[in-house]
Amino acid sequence: MGANNEVQIEIRSVSKRFGGVVALDNVSFQIRRGELLAICGENGAGKSTLMKILCGQHLDYDGDIVVNGETVRFSGIKDAERFGIGIIHQELNLVDELSVAANIFLGRELSRFGLLCQKTMNERAAAFLNQLQCEISPSIRVGALRVGDQQLVEIAKAIGLGAKILIMDEPTSALTESEVTRLYRVITSLRQRGVTILYISHKMEEIFHLSDRIAVLRDGRYIDTVDTANVTPRQIAQMMVGREFVQTDLRRASKHGENGEQPVLAVRGLWRSWPGHAKHWRLKDICFDVHAGEVVGVAGLMGAGRTELFECLYGCCGDEFGGDIRLQGEQVQFKHAQDAIRHGVSMVTEDRKRFGLFTNLTVRENVTLSSLEQFTSLGWISSRKERSVCRSIIERLRVKLAGQEAEIQSLSGGNQQKCLIGRALLNQPKLLLLDDPTRGIDVGAKAEVYQLLNELAQNKIAILMSSSELPELILNCDRIIVLCEGRQTGMFSASEATEQAIMEAATAIDVRDTSISN
Amino acid sequence: MEFVKKYLTEIVLILGIFVVFGVTAIFNDAYTERFFDNVTTLILRPAAILGIFALGAAVVIIAGGIDLSSGSMIALSASLVCITTMVFCKLLQPDADDPTGVVPVWVVCIAALITIGVAILVGSLHAWLITVVQLPPFVATLASLVGLRSLSIVMNKAVSKQFGAEAVIVNIQDSRYLLTNAPWWLPLAIFLTLALILWLILNFTVMGRHIYAMGGNETAARLSGIRTDRLKWFAYCFAAVTASIAGMLLASSVLLADPQSQGTGGELFAIAAAVIGGCSLSGGVGRVSGVVLGALFLRVVIDAVAKLITSGNSANYEGMIVGLLVVLAVALNEVTGSSAGWRKQFFPGALGVVALISIGLLFGSVIAFSLTLSDQVANSWLIGIIVALVTSSVLSLIKLLAWQLGKTKSHALSKL
C-alpha cells in the first residue's frame, strides 16, 4: 500500500471563523501521499470545517493549502476536483430520482451534439463500480438503493472524477456490519490504486483497523499526528478531550420504579407506519418506561428510528402511529406539539438550525416563544414579565450572551442550545425529550449540558434523551434503550451498559436483512 | 445609532417622499397653486386605499406566504357591495324607475357587512387550500386572482339580468355615497386605524409574535407548539378583508362597480408597497411603519410621474415605475445585507454583458418613447439611442473597474 513520506498536502496555519466563533485556530499539518490519515476530534473540534476548506466548500479562510508543492486557493468544489480532491459527505449528495449512472456523471454528462450518451455513461459507470467490486446496476434509480449502496455510488462518482485524495466523513455511521466489511474492502482497493484517504470517524475500532496515522484536533486547534502503531485508543481519546477521562458519576443513586411508583411515561407496543416503503413501518413494538427523576437514553445508529420515536411522543409525527402511550397513567396520542406541551411534554429538536432557531427573532423572543401564554392577559404580552422570566432562565442555565435583545445567531452553538432547552423548560414539563442535545456544541458546553441534565433529574423531571455518542449516554443515563432499524433490540441499566454491549444491540441485524444488502 | 440602524427603511422612505415631492413641486406648479387639493385627492386618498390592502399583503408576507388575489378581491368586493345595494333597492321599490336614486343608510351597511363576510369566506378558502389541501400559497391565490374577477363579471351579469337588463357595470345613483362628498380624511382615517390595529397585534400580542416566528421558521414554530394553521387563517382573512374594504372605497369613489377594470394589478401594487416598506418575501421580517410609508412613497412617485409627464396617459407608466421601485428596493436590501456589500461584482461574465446591454436598451427606449409621446423634443429617437449608449458604457466601466479590483485583490491574497 504505497505509503511513503512524500508530502501531498500541507495545511499551513489555517484559521476559520464563523461570526464570533473560532472554528479553526492556526491549524498546520501534513498529509502524505498514499496514506490513510484518520482525523479525530470531538464534535465541534473543527474536523468538518477543515475538510470543507480542503474540498473547496468554504472559500473564506486564513492560511494556505499546499497541494503537491503548489499553494492553491480553490474557487469552488469544481476547482478542488481539478486537483483530485473528492469528498464523501456524511449526508450523501445524490439525486434520488436519477439513475446511478446519471448521478455518477452529474454535472459532467457525456453528450454528442447536445444529446446525452446514455449507453456510454452506463458502461463507464459500470466500469467504475466494477473497480470497487460491487454489483450495482448503473440504470437503477438511486432512491431505490440502500444507504450503503448509495455511499458506494458516491465513491464511484469521486473515482469517476479522477480523485487522488478522498475525504470520507464518518462513512460507516449508517452502515450495517456487512456493509462496513464491504466498505473496508473498497478502501483497500482504493489504496492499492494509490488514492490518499482522509478518514473522519468517531469509532476507534475502525480507525485502528484502517489508518496509518492519526491526526487529532481539539476545539479548533491541531494537537498532534501520531503513527497508529505507536498509540492506544485510550491515548487518542485523551488527546481528543485534553484530559484523563474522569468518570464523574452523574447518575443518581436512587432506583426508579422499583417501589411500584407510576412512571411519568409508559410506552407499550408503539408502532409507526412508513407509507410507500418496503418495510411498511418505521417503528415497531417499542416498550419502555420513564420515571420522574430518571434519565433514559435512546441509542441507535443513523436511521435506527430515534428521531422518529421522539416525533411520535411529541405529536409532530407525519405518519400514522399507534400503541399504548400513557402519560402518568392517562392514555395520550398527541396530534400537535401544542397538545404535548399542554400535557407537560416538551422537546428540544435534533437539528437546531432547521427545527429550533428563529434567526429573525431576538434571544428573548426565541426563549419565551412557546410559553407566552404564561405572561399574557387577553392575548396581550406583558413585556416586563417576559423580560424577567427570560432573565431568570438565562441565569439559571448560565447562558453567556450580550443581552436578551441580542441576535440568536450571535451566540455560540452551546449557548443557542441552552436557549432552546430554556424554551422547553419554560413550559414546566414533566417529561423532557432531548433529541441529541449536544450535537455540534463544544466540549465545555457539553459538560454544562450534562450538569444541567443532572439538576433537572434531581428536580424530578423525567428525561428521555438520544445521542449519537455512546459514552455520553452511558455517562448520563439511568437506563438505555437501543433501537435498530425501527425495532427495540436492547435495554440496559446503568450498571450493564457498555459501549460494546450497546453497539452489538444497535447492529443486531437479522439474517433476512443482511441477505438483501448483499 | 441603534435606532437609525433598525429603522433605516423608514428613514430612507421619509427622505425619499420629501425629495420626490420637492422635485415635483419645482417642475410642476400644481402643488404650489392648489397644494391642499393636490395632496388630499391625488396623494393621501389613493395612498390610503392602496395602503389598506398593502397592510393585508404585508401580514401574509410576514407570515411567510404570498397573496396574489387582492386585485381580484377588490373587483369582487366593489361588485358585491354595489349589486347587493341594487338588489335591496329593487326589492324595496319594485316599481321605481330609478331605485338606487335614494339608498337608505342601513342598506349600504348591510351590503358592506355582506361584502366583508364574503371576504372572510374567501380568506378561509385560501387558508383551507393552503393548510389542508397543502397547495403552495402562490398557486392557491393565483387561482383566486384569475377566478374571482371572472366570477364578479358573471355575477353582475346574472343578477342584473334577474332584476332588469343584463349588464357588467353596476351603477348606484345616490351621489351621497360618492367618496368625494365624504370628508377627505375618511379613507386615511380607516387606513391609519387598520394600521394601528395591525401594529398592536404584531408587536404586543401572542398572535403577532407567533406570526413573526412562523414566517421565520415554520417547522420550528410548529414544533414549539404554535398552531400555524390558525395563524395562516388569520393572515389570509385579514388580507381578504382589507382588500374588500379597499374595493368598497374604490366603488364609492366612482359610484359604480366595473369588475373588468377595477383593482387590476392591485395585488402587485400591494406586494410592491410591502416590499418597498422592508418586508422580506422569505418571511418573518417587516414592520407596519415601513408598509405605511412604502404605500405613501409609491403613491408620491406615481403622482410625480403623472405631473411630470404632462401629455398622454400617465397611468401607462405606472407598471414601469412599480417594477423599477420593487427591483431597486429588494436589490438595496440584498446588497446592504450581504457580506460582499457594494464590493460585489454586479456584471460578471457573459450574463453581465447581456445585462448591461439590456439595461442600456431599456433606459434608452423608455426615454425615446416618452419624449416622442410628449411632442416636446424633435430628435427623441436620437436622444434615446444616446441614452442607451451612455448607460451601457457607464455600466461597462463599472464592470471593468470591478474586474480590475477583483484581480488585484486575488493577486494580493495569493501573495499573502
At B4-15, the pLDDT tens digits run 878 888 999 999
Mean pLDDT estimate for chain B: 89
pLDDT tens readout for residues B215-237? 999 999 999 999 999 999 999 99
Chain B hits for A427, CB-CB cut-off 8 Å, are 225
Contact flag B217-A427 (C-beta cutoff 8 Å):
no
Please give, rounded to a whole number of angstroms, the shortest distance from the CA of A291 to a CA of chain B.
24
Give the residue ranges of DSSP H helices in A145-255.
Answer: 147-160, 177-192, 204-210, 233-241
Chain A hits for B207, CB-CB cut-off 8 Å, are 379
pLDDT of residue B38: 82
Contact flag B212-A73 (C-beta cutoff 8 Å):
no
pLDDT tens readout for residues B134-158? 999 999 999 999 999 999 999 999 9
Contact flag A365-B215 (C-beta cutoff 8 Å):
no
Contact flag B227-A338 (C-beta cutoff 8 Å):
yes
Contact flag B224-A337 (C-beta cutoff 8 Å):
yes
What ipTM did this prediction achieve?
Answer: 0.82
Cβ count near A491 (within 10 Å): 15
Residues with Cβ within 8 Å of residue B183, at least 6 apart in sequence: none
Binding-site residues on chain B for chain A (CB distance < 8 A): 204-207, 209-210, 212-213, 215-217, 219-227, 284-285, 410, 413-414
Residue type at B357 in one-letter notation: I
> Taking the model in full, what pTM does it have?
0.79
Contact flag A349-B217 (C-beta cutoff 8 Å):
no
Mean pLDDT for B234-250 is 97
Question: Is residue A222 within 8 Å of A44, Cβ to Cβ?
Answer: no
The pLDDT of residue B79 is above 90: yes
C-alpha cell at B159: 343578477
What sign has the CA pseudo-torsion B164, B165, B168, B171?
Answer: negative
Please give, rounded to a whole number of angstroms, the shortest distance from the CA of B223 to a CA of chain A.
6
CA nearest to B205 within chain A:
A380
pLDDT band at B198 (very low <50, low <70, confident <90, very high): very high
Question: Is residue A325 within 8 Å of A331, Cβ to Cβ?
Answer: yes
pLDDT of residue A247: 47
Least CB-CB distance to B284: which of A340, A360, A381?
Answer: A360
Least CB-CB distance to A355: which of B209, B216, B219?
Answer: B219
The pLDDT of residue B374 is above 80: no
pLDDT tens readout for residues B83-93? 999 999 999 88
Least CB-CB distance to A380: which of B204, B212, B414?
Answer: B204
Question: Is residue A4 within 8 Å of A33, Cβ to Cβ?
Answer: yes
CA nearest to B283 within chain A:
A360
Q: Give every residue of chain A whose pLDDT is below 50, as ranges.
A: 1-3, 245-247, 509-518
**What is the phi/psi pair of residue B227, to 5°?**
-80, 85
Among A314, A339, A360, the residue to mutate for chain B (most B Cβ within 10 A):
A360
Q: With the CA atoms of B129, B132, B135 and B138 taken in that order, what torsion angle do they form, in degrees rounded to the nearest 10?
A: 50
pLDDT of residue A466: 92
Binding-site residues on chain A for chain B (CB distance < 8 A): 71, 73, 314, 316, 336-338, 340-342, 347, 349, 354-361, 365, 369-370, 372-373, 376, 379-381, 383, 423, 427
**How many Cα atoms occupy the beta-carbon half-sphere of A184 within 13 Å?**
13
Contact flag A73-B414 (C-beta cutoff 8 Å):
yes
How many A/B residue pairs have CB atoms within 8 Å?
A: 83
CA distances from A179 to A468, B295, B311 (A): 19, 62, 78
Least CB-CB distance to B227: which of A336, A354, A376?
Answer: A336
Contact flag A381-B227 (C-beta cutoff 8 Å):
no
Chain A hits for B205, CB-CB cut-off 8 Å, are 376, 379-381
Contact flag B206-A338 (C-beta cutoff 8 Å):
no
Question: Could you give the CA distance from residue B81 to residue B88 in angstroms, rounded to a whole number?
Answer: 11
**In B148-199, beta strands by DSSP E:** 170-171
CB-based burial of residue B241 (10 Å sphere; 0-12 exposed, 13-18 middle, 19+ buried)? Answer: buried
CA nearest to A346 within chain B:
B224
Residues with Cβ within 8 Å of residue B375, at least 6 apart in sequence: B311
Chain B hits for A380, CB-CB cut-off 8 Å, are 204-205
Among B61, B224, B226, the residue to mutate for chain A (most A Cβ within 10 A):
B224
Please give, rounded to a whole number of angstroms, the shortest distance from the CA of B346 to a CA of chain A.
18
Chain A hits for B62, CB-CB cut-off 8 Å, are none
| Helices and strands (DSSP H and E) totals, chain B | 17, 2
Contact flag A338-B219 (C-beta cutoff 8 Å):
no
Nearest to A211 by CA among A194, A191, A238: A191
Contact flag A369-B204 (C-beta cutoff 8 Å):
no
